[in-house]
Chains A and B, each alone.
Chain A
């Protein structure tokens, strides 16, 4: 078990009538690349803001790098790099000037990393910040967040505005950084396909509650899809087995189930329903609706 990076217990955040986070308890340890997933308005950005203390809990506790988030000091904040969903910069500066300005605040600013990142992402240091496209502004935000060699990196939808090649290079870069700096990276994304090879841990939020908090590979071990084909008689309208978490009966003799692999006995099931079953694993995209459903109960 690695260093405790972020710890929440009973964290609830209310904005007037709206509850954005509801009784969230989490322990994030590093080094790790954590995928923060969930539907729109599930609380992902609010959780990221709580990690850096930009927002404070209405109730409950939040600690980052061992310190209560309401008391985070420069010492901790200098160890955190953030790429927000809508980055803003000083519009009158060039990209290079903006980076030089930021570097003054960080003792560990890595010039070598700055030039290699700018090269890799094809970010023009002479361009004016005011003229940057959405994608280039995102690249600037990435360079600005990674050059101080932070121990904790928070990325809010960082790949959404990058083209496929920049996206691929960026994700590979995260793999290097997590090893070089033993950093912990929290990356929120809707593009599940892209982050599937990058992350080792998944935190899934649904309606402000934690619907999943587990190693990605363990989640894949925990669920499977069963394609059921009856041999002689119709299948039931609903399967009563406790391990069946989702079911679609397509035709009287054909069904598609998602099962919890612990406790699911394929042979007994085949015998009971006189059916053939083809078991298939689920990838992150396939798991997502199941995880979100879990958050409802």
Chain B
């Protein structure tokens, strides 16, 4: 699991962790049964406060994304196809928020924005 936290960005660190782990699960880079680094290991790797990491892990556990088993590492929990499709959609919509506000500011309409996005996804434009 590769995580990058920018503690000076102003986005709460626990939120950055939540978003990145959710994204990796939604993208299939973390699969059901995969182990998540311990609080201690991630704290040492990122130089990040361990209470902040525990907080993110506890929230992901509550969400049903991670599973805690006594004495064993946290693992990614198996999810139904429907749930993970919804999660992917929600993730993508969240990421598009800033793009939508830029489109509004530039006066770019839905169709024009959609076309630009389609070209980028299809790889016809860089």
Chain A residues engaging chain B, CB cutoff 8 angstroms: 31-33, 168, 171-172, 175-176, 178-179, 193, 196-200, 216-218, 220-221, 229, 276, 278, 280-286
Contact = CB atoms under 8 A, between A and B. Distances in A.
Interface of B: 5, 7-15, 39-40, 43-44, 46-52, 55, 101, 104-105
B104 A217 contact: no
A65 to B, nearest CB: 20
Contact of A176 (B44, B55, B101): B44
B7 A197 contact: yes
Nearest to A217: B12
Nearest to B52: A200
Contact of B51 (A32, A280, A282, A285): A32
A179 B43 contact: yes
Contacts, number: 69
A281 B10 contact: yes
Question: Which has the most chain B C-beta neighbours within 10 Å: A193, A200, A221, A286?
Answer: A200
B44 A172 contact: yes
A175 B101 CA distance: 39
B49 A220 contact: no
B49 A33 contact: yes
B52 A282 contact: no
Contact of B12 (A32, A168, A220): A220
A172 B44 CA distance: 7
Leading 7 A-B pairs by shortest Cβ distance? A281-B10, A217-B12, A197-B7, A200-B51, A283-B10, A220-B12, A200-B49
25 contacts: A32-B51, A33-B49, A33-B51, A175-B50, A178-B50, A179-B43, A179-B50, A193-B8, A197-B7, A197-B49, A199-B49, A200-B51, A200-B52, A216-B12, A216-B52, A217-B52, A220-B10, A221-B12, A276-B104, A280-B10, A281-B9, A281-B10, A282-B10, A283-B7, A285-B8
Nearest to A197: B7
Contacts of B52: 200, 216-217
A196 B50 contact: no
